[in-house]
Amino acid sequence: MDIAKEVAALIGRPEGVSLEYKAVLPPARTVAQLICSFANSQGGFIVLGVADVGGKLKINGLSEEFRATDITHKAIDLLSPRPGVNYEYVFHEQKRLYVIKVEKSDTPIALEGKVYVREGDHSVLKIPSTEQDNRYARIKHLSSMLKQYKKQCTSAKAKYLDHYQSVLNILDDLGSLLYPESPQKPTTSQEGKVLMRILFSSCADTFETYMSDLLYEIYLAQPATLKSSEQITVKEVLDCTDMHEFIDVYAKKKLAKLQRGSVKGFIADNPQIKGLNVFNDDLQDGIEKLLQIRHLYSHRNGIVDEKFLRYYPDLKLNDEHQMPLDNFLERFEYLAQAIDAVDRAALTKYQLASLG
């Protein structure tokens, strides 16, 4: 039986351990995670161009503006070892669909060193049975929160949450260095101070990476959002090997103001994000203050300067800014909650492909 006939027999069934529908073309990493989970379970089909809305299927077809085969190739390249995969365009009810058929693998397939499996209609990370609970209750709570956030999310958010979970693991494992007296007191260890600054800066950096990745997913799912009056050079276009790389470069270019700490400038310049109506003035101000801490840690080793005092006037010039674990986790949670709100709004507004 060929793929077209197999799909004709499948469509109409609910999503499950061997079937996943996507309304739009997801990024390569999302496709890779799905292929990985099917290969490590019973095998199955990923059908692009079909939306599952509250259990009711809507066959929209897949836009021809981007080539799904290129994304599939990139996805397979992320996996080790390479699983058995077949893929092709098929027509169903006069709609053009793209179908990826994944064979069950006899050996574990990994995506960037992580193994995913199917549990019902979700693709989930397989957690080693030897993993221990976090020692500090607040870290344990945040770890559980991140797992909840991952149940329905974009590929951009999944990558963001993976990084944040790694940060929590480090904080948990190195308690004697990062909070030797208590989570409410800054560490007195010089090495601990350096590591705390590095970890906090990485959390802020990952927030920026998330915004870039989210813009990429929006452009990929809704090509019309790329159209604008902004000028680009011929060199910028020719330096990219294909359309997908250009979209990725263009999305990263939009981060310029955010990287300089201007959250309001970034929101104003990106109608795709502004239109989500998540970033009110208070949230923009809150994130901008967090990014200022990152700048101080990255460029001044935590020594307070005049610019920083404009955001934190209660401090003193040339003092060393220190952050107890509880303050770190409070800001960590603030950013994670902001990303969760943005992601849920983007999934709905732009009908992005979701993981989990």
The strand order across the sheet containing 85-92 reads 19-22, 44-48, 95-102, 85-92
At 32-79, the pLDDT tens digits run: 999 999 999 999 999 999 987 777 888 888 877 667 899 999 999 999
Handedness of CA 32, 122, 205, 68 (dihedral sign): positive
Q: Is 347 exposed, middle or buried (0-12, 13-18, 19+ CB in 10 A)?
A: middle
Which amino acid is it at 242? Answer: D
The rounded distance, in Å, linking the Cα atoms of 121 and 137 is: 31
The rounded distance, in Å, linking the Cα atoms of 340 and 342 is: 6
The domain spans of the chain are 3-125, 137-350
pLDDT at 276: 94
Mean pLDDT by 10 residues, the chain (356 residues): 81 90 88 95 93 81 80 93 93 90 95 90 73 74 92 89 92 92 93 95 93 88 73 70 73 72 84 93 94 94 94 94 96 96 94 81
Predicted TM-score of the model (pTM): 0.76
Top-tier CATH class for 3-125: alpha beta
If you search the block for the tokens 């599952």, which residue do you land on? 52
